[in-house]
A and B are shown apart, each in its own frame.
Chain A
Amino acid sequence: MDDQSAPARVPIYPRSVKGSFRRFKNIILIIAYVVYYGLPWLPWTRSVGPDRAVLFDIVGRKFYFFDLVVQPQQIFWLAGLLMIAALLLFFVTGVAGRVFCGYFCFQTLWSDLFFKIEHWVQGERPARIRLARQAWNAEKVRKIGLTWLLWFLVAFWTAITFTLYWGDAGDLIARFFSGSAPSAMYITVVVLTFTTFTMAGLAREQVCTHMCPYSRFQAAMFDKDTKLVAYDQKRGEGIKGRAKMRKGQKTADERHAAGVGDCIDCGYCVQVCPTGIDIRDGLQISCIHCGLCIDACNNIMDSLDWPRGLIRYSSETEDEGGKVRILSLKSIGYAISIIVVTAVLVWSISHKAELETALTQTRQPLYVVLSDGSILNSYEIKLANQTTEEHAYSISMRGLDNATLDTGGFDTVILKPLKTLRLMVKVKQADAGAPKNKVEDFEFIVLDQDSGKEATVIPARFYAP
């Protein structure tokens, strides 16, 4: 339209390929989809709460994750999880390049699935190119239509599945199709269906090259020792460059004698690339390190009976004949950080308090003088039973002379599993006649009736005129 706009996108029709990286990607694909689509349906038995293994209950403010129940006040665990994820990304990227992009990123996973659907309906790369170029006719309408329909169904189910994590899966599905689900579910499903369809079906590699910030900063974590998908320039190009198979240059010996490299310029590595780049041009931002070009090239090398690895994971150090140091200061630092954060997180989760308490002193007024001259302070004690069993707690106090505690008759309270209770309690200190401190520290003691142990000691202050 405009001569200043970016060059129009060249559509990419990746050819399918077989090999160890493809197999590895397929395994991840299956695991990821089974987990993602299946997890909301997994039943689970727990003494209290929903019978789903994973459920993020926003309304009830509880996040059920197998036998772990996370409450909002433990949200910092999420921070720990995110730190581990980030550090893991830094660590892996430093050691082996964009592993996340190539094998685990959901953009990669979903466009891979969409490629598979496209391949299944429209056929191999040449057939798809032919179909794209031909004029609209019944065949094209049928094939493109079926592809888009299947894409839509996958996108739709992806969106639905996302919403199922936030409520009981069976119940939500029934409500969704009977029109009685919350509006948030419909909006989420529409938005996610649309984004999944456009990102995985239409935008594809443009997400990686133009939209994704990770692709930009991951390259900053590479160093000379980082293993990257790379083309062996020396072997492939020889002295005179790569050359197609032609008469007199068919065997390895003939080619070496003629000075041409091992690359026969078949273009297979380019055709299989999901981002449509040529790995032989060297490291580039569009490369997501998915390893498919390695598979492609290895197939060719195998068929020629030449050694594999013309395209392989290698590092700059290796190429120069050096020895890779995986345990560099950087990777050791990341590894230690991961271990420390993981340890802290695990410790925090396993040492989760059985009873959470919070104390709020009534501040307006801080104190009241009673008819006999004694002084009254009021407090609100919040008790939150964090366990999935019923507990009886009793409240007492210590550390304040001449003082009595009035719990309003609730010296012992029974707390149902995961229940929170707020109690108004009053502390009365008799008038000793003598001048006294304006502020005194004391403690509330919450006793677990079953074990007889002090569940929690809550520090408090007593104010006097």
Chain B
Amino acid sequence: MSNADNQGRKGAETTGHVWDGDLQEYNNPVPMWWTWAFYGTIIFALVYWLLYPAWPVGKGFTTGTFNDITFVNKKGEEVTTHWNTRALFLKDQQTGEQAVKQREYLDKISQSSYQEIMQDPDKMAFVNSMAKVLFADNCGPCHGKGANGVVGLYPNLRDDDWLWGGTIEEVERTIKHGRNGYMPSFAGVFPKEKLESVAAYVLSLSGIVGEDKAKIEEGKHIFQGEEGGCYYCHTDKGTGLKSQGAANLADKVWTIANVPAAATYEEKLAAVEKVIVEGVNREMPAWQGRLPEEQLKLLTVYIHQLGGGK
């Protein structure tokens, strides 16, 4: 049994309730500042309800007042809405301090010619920082974040081998209107020996020469003649045609057949044969209309200088 006295707290205030004759309860109120802080939270809540979206009412909610947000929506209309973080974010993207700064640079970019941009280190620094992010977001899914592509699927944009041309105008055209890379399948066109000959000739173009010289000679004949007709797109010397997107077979860059990864001559042959048999069908989508003009311009300059330009 406990009571006020045997705990040595003589004269301590109790609630005045007594149970079982001697069971009492101390009156230990919380400190006053605590009580006031509690009242403070109530006042805070009331003010908050007035200012911000708070209570659900039917299918809607109380929207709060005094802090409407005005921003421009996708259609270019000015919209005023009750306070919400989404609108706050949109507004910040349009009129925020950083957005205004970025706008300044973007305006400079859209008013400058490609030449002017490429000759100004300050503008190029902006291109490199902003287009890097744009590239990673929009182009990266195929070409890779670092633009190194995937052999056989997506071209590497960092080398100097431009399938569709590497001048700034050609790069712009590729990005804006897209490209459709096509090589017909030669499956069943030649017997196996002739296929091998063509492949041997193609490899020899970039200096990978096999021992069977006669085979290369035969391949050359097929390549440059009507039997294969390869020269239509790849030209007599195998240097490719930019207007067709036909690859230059005479350089060291391989975009479809992964020749550098093949260890032996036979494997290299097989890699080339595979492309001849299966053909190529690649598509680069058109980006005009999907991204704002100024962003396309940034990407054009960025990609152009990645591969050293032409």
Q: Which residues of A contact B (CB under 8 A)?
A: 1-3, 362-365, 368-373, 376, 378, 380, 406, 408-410, 413, 421-424, 426, 431, 465
Is B274 among interface residues, defined by CB-CB distance under 8 A? no
Q: Are A370 and B121 in contact (CB under 8 A)?
A: no
Query: B260–A364 contact, CB under 8 A?
Result: no
**A-side contacts of B168, CB under 8 Å:** none
| Chain A residues with CB under 8 A of B146 | 362-365
Report the separation of the CA atoms of residues A364 and B157 in the bound assembly, to the nearest whole angstrom: 12
Chain B, 117-166, CB within 8 A of any chain A CB: 118-119, 121-122, 124-125, 128-129, 144-146, 148, 156, 158-161
Q: Can you list 22 A-B contacts (CB < 8 A)?
A: A1-B31, A1-B32, A2-B28, A3-B11, A363-B146, A364-B148, A365-B146, A369-B159, A369-B253, A370-B253, A371-B159, A371-B248, A371-B253, A372-B251, A372-B252, A376-B158, A378-B158, A409-B118, A410-B124, A413-B121, A422-B128, A431-B252
Q: Are the CB atoms of B118 and A424 closer together than 8 Å?
A: no
Interchain CA distance A346-B31 in the complex, whole Å: 53
- Least Cβ distance of B294 to chain A in Å? 20
Contacts of A408 in B (CB 8 A): 118, 124, 305
Question: How close is B171's CB to chain A, nearest CB, in angstroms?
Answer: 15
Are B158 and A371 in contact, with the CB atoms below 8 A? no
Kindly state the separation between the CA atoms of A426 and B158 in the bound complex, as whole angstroms. Answer: 11
From residue B285, how far is it (CB to closest CB) to chain A in Å? 23
**Chain B residues proximal to chain A, CB less than 8 Å:** 9, 11-12, 28-29, 31-32, 118-119, 121-122, 124-125, 128-129, 144-146, 148, 156, 158-161, 248, 251-253, 260, 305-306, 308
**Residue contact A369 to B252, C-beta cutoff 8 Å:** yes
Residue of B28, B118, B121 touching A421 (CB-CB under 8 A): B121
A457–B119 CA distance with the chains assembled, in angstroms: 25
**Residues of A contacting B161 with CB < 8 Å?**
370-371
- B118 contacts across to A, CB distance below 8 A: 408-409
Q: Which residues of B contact A2 (CB under 8 A)?
A: 28
User: How far is B306's CA from A362's CA once the two chains are assembled, in angstroms?
Assistant: 11
What residues of A have a CB within 8 angstroms of the CB of B248 in the complex? 371
Q: Give the interface SS of chain A, mostly helix, strand, loop or mixed.
A: loop
User: Which A residues touch B125, using CB under 8 A?
Assistant: 421-423
Q: Are A424 and B159 interface neighbours, CB within 8 A?
A: no
Min C-beta distance of B84 to chain A, whole Å? 19
Shortest distance from the beta carbon of B308 to any chain A beta carbon, whole Å: 6
Q: Is the CB of B252 within 8 A of A373?
A: yes
A431: chain B residues at CB < 8 Å are 252
Closest to B161 in A: A371
Shortest distance in angstroms between A95's beta carbon and chain B's nearest beta carbon? 41
- Give Cα distance in the complex from A243 to B28, angstroms: 45
Contact of B119 among A409, A422, A465 (CB under 8 A): A409
How many angstroms from the CA of A31 to the CA of B159 in the assembled complex? 66
Considering only CB atoms, which chain A residue lies closest to B29 in the complex?
Answer: A1
Closest residue of B by beta carbon distance from A380: B128
In the complex, the answer to whether B158 meets A365 with C-beta atoms within 8 Å is yes
| Residues of chain A contacted by B32 (CB below 8 angstroms) | 1
A311 CA to B88 CA, complexed, in Å = 65
**Interchain CA distance A408-B145 in the complex, whole Å:** 21
Known: A3-B12, A365-B148, A370-B160. A424 touches B124 (CB 8 A): yes
Q: B159 to chain A: which residues have CB within 8 Å?
A: 368-371, 376
- In the complex, what residue of chain A is closest to B309 when comparing beta carbons? A408
Let me know if A423 and B148 touch, CB within 8 A.
no
Bound together, the chains give a CA A421 to CA B128 distance in angstroms of 11
Whole-angstrom distance from the CB of B158 to the nearest CB of chain A?
4
B284 CB to closest chain A CB, in angstroms? 19
The residue from B28, B128, B156, B308 contacting A406, defined by CB atoms under 8 A apart: B308
- 10 nearest A-B residue pairs (beta carbon): A364-B146, A371-B251, A365-B148, A373-B252, A368-B158, A371-B161, A422-B125, A370-B160, A368-B159, A410-B121
Complex formed: what's the CA distance from A2 to B158 in Å? 77
Asked if A369 and B148 sit within 8 Å, CB to CB, the answer is no
In whole Å, how far is B154's beta carbon from the nearest beta carbon of chain A?
13
Contact B129 A424 (CB under 8 A): no
The distance from the CB of B97 to the nearest CB of chain A, in whole angstroms, is 8
When distances are taken between beta carbons in the complex, the residues of chain B under 8 Å from A373 are: 252
Q: How far is the CA of A124 from the CA of B11 in the complex (A)?
A: 40
Tell me the nearest residue of chain A to B305, going by C-beta.
A408
Contact A368 B148 (CB under 8 A): yes
Interchain nearest-CB distance for A384 vs B (Å):
12
Give the CA-CA distance A185 to B122 in the complex, in Å.
Answer: 33
Q: Is the CB of B121 within 8 A of A371?
A: no
- Residues of chain B lying within 8 A (CB to CB) of residue A364: 144-146, 148
Set of chain A residues within 8 Å of B306, measured between Cβ atoms: 378
In angstroms, Cα B120 to Cα A413, docked, is 9
Give A182's nearest chain B residue, CB to CB: B97
Q: Assess the B129–A422 pair: CB atoms within 8 A.
A: yes
A423 to B159: give the CA distance in the assembly, Å: 19
For A378, the chain B residues whose CB sits under 8 A away are 158, 306
The residues of A that contact B156 with a CB separation of less than 8 Å are 365, 368
Complex contacts, B29 vs chain A, CB 8 Å: 1
Chain B residue nearest in CB terms to A419: B122
- Interface centre among B32, B306, B308, by most A CB within 10 Å? B308
Does A369 contact B260, Cβ atoms closer than 8 Å? yes
User: Shortest beta-carbon distance, A351 to chain B, in Å?
Assistant: 28
Q: A368-B158, A376-B159, A422-B129 are in contact. Are A3 and B9 (CB under 8 A)?
A: yes
In the bound complex, CA of A371 to CA of B238 (Å) = 13
A337 to B252, CA, bound (A): 63
Which residue from chain A places its CB closest to the CB of B206 in the assembled complex?
A373
Give the docked Cα–Cα distance between A406 and B125 (Å). Answer: 16
The answer, among B31, B119, B252, for a CB contact under 8 Å with A371, is: B252
Query: Could you tell me the distance between the alpha carbons of A323 and B124 in the complex, rounded to whole angstroms?
Result: 72
Question: Min CB distance, A363 to chain B, in Å?
Answer: 7
With a cutoff of 8 Å between Cβ atoms, the chain A residues found around residue B129 in the complex are 422
B29 → chain A closest CB, angstroms? 7
A1-B34 Cα distance, complex, nearest whole Å: 13
